[in-house]
Chains A and B, each alone.
Chain A
Amino acid sequence: MDESKQKSDYVFRSRARAWIDGAATGLAIASTVLVVMPLVAIFIYLVYKGASSLNLDFFTQIPKPEGESGGGMANAILGSAILLGLASLIGVPIGIGGGIFLAEFGRGTKLAEAVRFTADVLNGVPSIVMGMAVYALVVTPQMPFSALAGGLALGIMMIPTVCRTTEEMLLMVPHAVREAALALGVPNWRSVLSITVKTASPGIITGCMLAFARVAGETAPLIFTAFGNAFWSTSLTRPIAALPLEIYKYANSPYDDQHRQAWAGALVLIVLIVLAVSLVRWVTSRGVLKGAS
Chain B
Amino acid sequence: MGVGIEVINLNAWYGTNHSLQDINLNIPGNHATALIGPSGCGKSTFVRCLNRMHETNPIARVTGTVRIGDLDIYKDTKPVEIRRRVGMVFQRPNPFPTMSIYDNVAAGLKLNGYNHRQALDEIVEKSLKNSALWDEVKDDLKKKSGASLSGGQQQRLCIARALAVDPEVLLMDEPASALDPVSTSKIEDLIFQLKSQYTIVIVTHNMQQAARVAEKTGFFLNGRMVEFDATHKIFTNPSDKRTEDYITGRFG
Contacts and interface: CB of A to CB of B under 8 A. Distances in A.
Contact of B144 (A180, A185, A290): A290
B165 A177 contact: no
A56 interface: no
Given A182-B56, A185-B84, A174 B108 contact: no
Given A176-B94, A292-B147, A181 B107 contact: yes
B98 A179 contact: no
Q: Which one of B97, B107, B161 has the greatest number of beta carbons of chain A within 10 Å?
A: B97
Given A185-B81, A198-B98, A180 B145 contact: no
B247 interface: no
Given A182-B53, A185-B83, A291-B147, A191 B94 contact: no
Contacts of B143: 289-290
B56 A179 contact: yes
Contacts of A8: none
B163 to A, nearest CB: 11
A88 interface: no
B88 interface: yes
Contact of A177 (B97, B145, B162): B97
A184 B147 contact: no
B148 interface: yes
Interface string A242-286: 000000000000000000000000000000000000000000000
Given A176-B90, A180-B158, A199-B96, A187 B148 contact: no
Contact of B148 (A176, A201, A291): A291
Contacts of A183: 51, 53, 83, 87-88, 90, 162
Q: Which one of B82, B83, B84, B85 has the greatest number of beta carbons of chain A within 10 Å?
A: B83
Q: Which one of B80, B84, B140 has the greatest number of beta carbons of chain A within 10 Å?
A: B80
B100 interface: yes
Contact of B145 (A108, A179, A195, A291): A291
Contacts of B112: 184-186, 190
Contacts of B224: none
18 contacts: A176-B90, A177-B94, A177-B96, A179-B56, A180-B94, A183-B51, A183-B90, A184-B83, A184-B87, A184-B112, A186-B107, A186-B111, A190-B112, A199-B96, A201-B98, A289-B144, A291-B144, A292-B145
Interface of A: 108, 174, 176-177, 179-187, 190-191, 194-195, 198-199, 201, 289-293
Q: Sorted from nearest, which 10 A-B pairs have the closest CB atoms?
A: A291-B148, A185-B84, A292-B145, A184-B108, A289-B145, A185-B83, A176-B94, A183-B88, A291-B145, A186-B111
Interface of B: 51, 53, 56, 58, 80-85, 87-88, 90, 92, 94-100, 107-108, 111-112, 140, 143-145, 147-149, 158, 161-162, 165
Given A176-B94, A185-B108, A292-B98, 19 more contacts: A176-B92, A177-B94, A179-B53, A179-B90, A183-B53, A183-B162, A184-B107, A185-B83, A185-B85, A186-B108, A186-B111, A199-B97, A289-B100, A289-B145, A290-B140, A290-B143, A290-B148, A291-B145, A292-B145
